[in-house]
Each structure stands twice: as C-alpha cells, then as structure tokens.
Amino acid sequence: METLSNTNSKILIVDDDFSVRNLIYRFLSRKYEIESAADGKTGMILFEQFNPALVILDWNLPDANGYQLCQEMQSLTNVLVMILTSRNDEADKIKILAAGADDFITKPFSLAEVEVRVEALLRRIRYIHPSQSQRLIFKQLTINPEGREVTLNDRPLALTALEFNILHFLASHPGQAWSRPELIQKIWGCDYVGDGRVVDVHIGQLRKKMELDSSMPEFIKTVRGYGYKFEPPENIKI
C-alpha cells in the first residue's frame, strides 16, 4: 500500500475563474505547496513540472474538457483529482465519477468544506498492489502491476488509475465477494467522504471496457444485495 502524507503535499489548482482560483490558493497555501493555472494547457504543463499529489480541477475550462483532462492526468501518475463543478444534476455527478475523479465539490462552496475534503484525500491510503512483480493471468486477461497495464485478447485496455486499482484488487482475491463499503475502504481509504455510488460507477465503466456484454459480465460479477467479486474461469499466477 502507498500512503500520501499531507506533509509538504503539492496541490495544483486549475480554474479559469480568478476569484475562485485565488481564494483557494490563498487559503490552502497556509498548509500546502500550491501552483495554479487558468486553463487546461497551462495546467498540463504545470502538472508535468510540479508533479502534484492532488489536482483541484474545474470541470468546465475554456480550452479543455474536464473529463479528458482528468483521465489524461491520471494516465500519467496516480494523482488524486477533486473536481469543481457548478452543475448539480445526477447525470453530471455520474460523469464526474466516471472520469476517475476521487471527489467533487459543487459551487458555491465553503473554504472549510474544501479544507476538510483536501485533508481527507491526502490522508487516504490508496491500494496500489501487494506485489511489485506478480502478474495475474486469467486465460485471455493479463494484469501487469509493474507497468499498471492490462491486456484482454492481446489488446491493451485504457483504464483510469482507479479502474486499474479496482480490477487489480478484485483479481488478486478471485472468488471472494466484497461489499461496497469494504471496496471503498480498500480502494479509496477509510477517510473517503465522497459519493458512495462511486463503486457502482467505476465497476460499470470497467465492464464497458472489458466485457462483450456488460449486462452479462464474465469477469466482475454482481453479488446481489451485497457487492461484487471477480470470478475467472481459470486462474494462473506468474
């Protein structure tokens, strides 16, 4: 497991609203090392230079799609992402979670709420992998934790950091059922304060990428009234 300590943690704020960006910057800079950007292009440049532990990212930037930016950042590092959004409808919340965001806050918000959520995210123990070198092979599915790569039928799967963590955790315990609260504790950490539906959203995204028919999944099974389990037809560990 890997712990993200809040000591000297780096936070990148990407928001085109100067007042919001400046307010959060001034407030959090009392405890953390902060950089900020007003657009997606500058945000990505700073992200690669600054290597933050957490990105506070506006969902609607003038030059970038929040969904794509979140996924691009998480494809490069195991960064935590908290989304700022002015939308409060159900479809937008689901889309934010599906992008791989660890948490989101709806505008307007209080600085006290930002602080609590930031501290909770940075205390989180995130599941990475129990073995640095052990590959998992389940017939046509291969999971390589060293490169954080997954191939299915010899084709690479483009997974977000959270999707990889969920798949690898479940596949490391084949046949074992996990409840949603257990998965939140294992994957997101006991300090998670976000939306509890996050498990269902990410399992749904994984199924879309892995299964021929996501309504009749072969790999990740639903345990009715409880949670999920990984049930491979054959398990070979290398």
Provide the residue-wise pLDDT of the chain in tens; the chain has 238 residues. 333 344 458 999 999 999 999 999 999 999 999 999 999 999 999 999 999 999 999 999 999 988 889 988 988 887 889 999 988 777 887 888 878 888 889 999 999 999 988 988 887 644 444 445 578 888 889 998 888 889 999 899 988 778 888 999 999 999 999 999 899 888 877 666 666 778 888 899 899 999 888 888 989 999 999 999 998 865 444 4
What pTM was estimated for this model as a whole? Answer: 0.68
CB 88 within 8 A of CB 108: no
> Do residues 203 and 166 make contact, with C-beta atoms less than 8 angstroms apart?
yes
Q: With contact defined as beta carbons under 8 Å apart, do 6 and 116 qualify?
A: no
Instruction: For domain 136-237, give the fold.
Output: Arc Repressor Mutant, subunit A (1.10.10)
- At residue 133, the pLDDT reads 58
No. of H helices and E strands in the chain? 8, 15
> What is the reported pLDDT for 10?
94
| Of 58, 64, 56, 48, nearest in space to 17 by CA | 58
Identical topology for domains 2-126 and 136-237: no
- CATH number at 2-126: 3.40.50.2300
User: Looking at residue 237, what is its pLDDT?
Assistant: 46
The full set of domain ranges for the chain reads: 2-126, 136-237
Q: List Cβ neighbours of 75 (8 Å cut-off, separation of 6 or more).
A: 158, 160, 161
Q: What is the pLDDT of residues 60-107, one digit of tens each?
A: 999 998 888 998 898 888 788 999 998 877 788 788 887 888 888 999
Q: How far is residue 219's CA from residue 203's CA, in Å, rounded to a whole number?
A: 11
